[in-house]
Amino acid sequence: MSKKIALVGIGKIARDQHIPSLAASAAFELAATASRHGTVEGIDAYPDLASLLAERPDIPCISLCTPPHVRYDDARRALEAGRHVMLEKPPGATLSEVHDLAALAEAKGLTLFATWHSRHAPAVSAARDWLANQTIRRLEIRWKEDVRHWHPGQDWIWEPGGLGVFDPGINALSILTAIYPHPLHLTRADLRFPENRDTPVAADLTFADGRGTDLRAAFDWLKEGSPEWDMHIDTDAGYALLSEGGARLSINGVETSAHAGPELEGEYPALYARFADLLAAGASDVDLSPMRHVADAFTLGRRTTGAAFNW
């Protein structure tokens, strides 16, 4: 039997991913939305979460697609009202607020799910399983895209808490922390800020794993044309390329079978399936490691200022 769920924040990511995923889900039924402007045809619409919670006690699950800097207040409000909550990535503007939400969910016996959609890209689990048995010499992340194409007009990404190039970069870090077989931590970060913005447009990161492995990441938000969402991995057993944001894996030039079948577009359906599993188990899943690496990068960052960014 499907559970009623409400979507909060009807913008680009809700339309591109959440609404189609819920339409195809047997576990959930989209019962209402809350958004200042956006609505979904045929679905009850509320202007804000407070009125939705007040008027719809029949909806036990809330999925938040609002920008991260306003997510805390809504998540807290939903948990206080006894609802289970699923959070888009990143789960908040600060680490501390998500710790607070996780403690609140636990105290109330509710499910809180901090999602990392890229971890459900089709080739990620194959990459993790293969790497578990390898000696890794070098791993280089190259995550480069055109912000004007992928985030058109989204000014909040340039504001404090919007993370700048770490908004896509945290997807790479969510994959890295899922597939890398050892703990790792940042040792250096070089961040480039547009002179008129509060968040970086490019970042070069170096990590250490206590084993001397060469670990680095380059994030760039001004790459025109095709995006580059790749991880290049040298091991004692050869070279692996995890490409297209985790969708494809080739090992020594041989494509693995991951890049076939309908699951290519399956990241968000997988998130909702996981949310259903967590609800059934009465469990939460709040892994902050990708966001912790981003906070570490801001803390350790050496800053340079570059040209102004305008849309």
Catalytic residue annotation:
89
CB nearer to its own copies: give 72 or 130.
72
Q: Is 149 in the site for its own copies (CB under 8 A)?
A: no
Q: Is 97 in the site for its own copies (CB under 8 A)?
A: yes
Whether 44 contacts 65, CB under 8 Å: no
Q: Is 240 in the site for its own copies (CB under 8 A)?
A: no
CB nearer to its own copies: give 133 or 299.
299
Q: What is the 3-state secondary structure (H, E, C) of the chain?
A: CCEEEEEECCCHHHHHHHHHHHHCCCCEEEEEEECCCCCCCCCEEECCHHHHHHHCCCCCEEEECCCHHHHHHHHHHHHHCCCEEEECCCCCCCHHHHHHHHHHHHHHCCCEEECCHHHHCCCHHHHHHHHCCCCEEEEEEEEECEHHHHCCCCHHHHCCCCCCCHHHHHHHHHHHHHHCCCCCEEEEEEEEEECCCCCCCEEEEEEECCCCCEEEEEEECECCCCCEEEEEEEECCEEEEEEHHHCEEEECCEECCCCCCHHHHCHHHHHHHHHHHHHHHCCCECCCHHHHHHHHHHHHCEEEEECCCCC
CB 176, min distance to its own copies, A: 12
Considering only 94, 125, 134, 154, the residue that binds its own copies (CB under 8 A) is 94
Q: Is 214 in the site for its own copies (CB under 8 A)?
A: no
# chain residues binding its own copies, by CB under 8 A = 35
Q: Is 184 in the site for its own copies (CB under 8 A)?
A: yes
CB nearer to its own copies: give 103 or 260.
103
Binding to its own copies (CB under 8 A): which residues in 98-117?
99-100, 103
Please report, as a single letter, which amino acid is at residue 116. Answer: W
Q: Is 72 in the site for its own copies (CB under 8 A)?
A: yes
Q: How many CB atoms lie within 10 A of CB 293?
A: 24
Binding to its own copies (CB under 8 A): which residues in 280-309?
289, 292-296, 298-303
Whether 135 contacts 235, CB under 8 Å: yes
Q: Which stretch binds its own copies (CB under 8 A): 119-127, 131-139, 182-190, 246-254?
A: 182-190
Q: Is 163 in the site for its own copies (CB under 8 A)?
A: yes
Q: Which stretch binds its own copies (CB under 8 A): 15-23, 27-35, 141-149, 186-194?
A: 186-194
CB 105, min distance to its own copies, A: 12
Q: Is 181 in the site for its own copies (CB under 8 A)?
A: no
CB 103, min distance to its own copies, A: 7
Q: Is 226 in the site for its own copies (CB under 8 A)?
A: no
Q: Give the residues lining the site for its own copies (CB under 8 A).
A: 72, 76, 93-97, 99-100, 103, 160-161, 163, 183-189, 193, 198, 210, 289, 292-296, 298-303
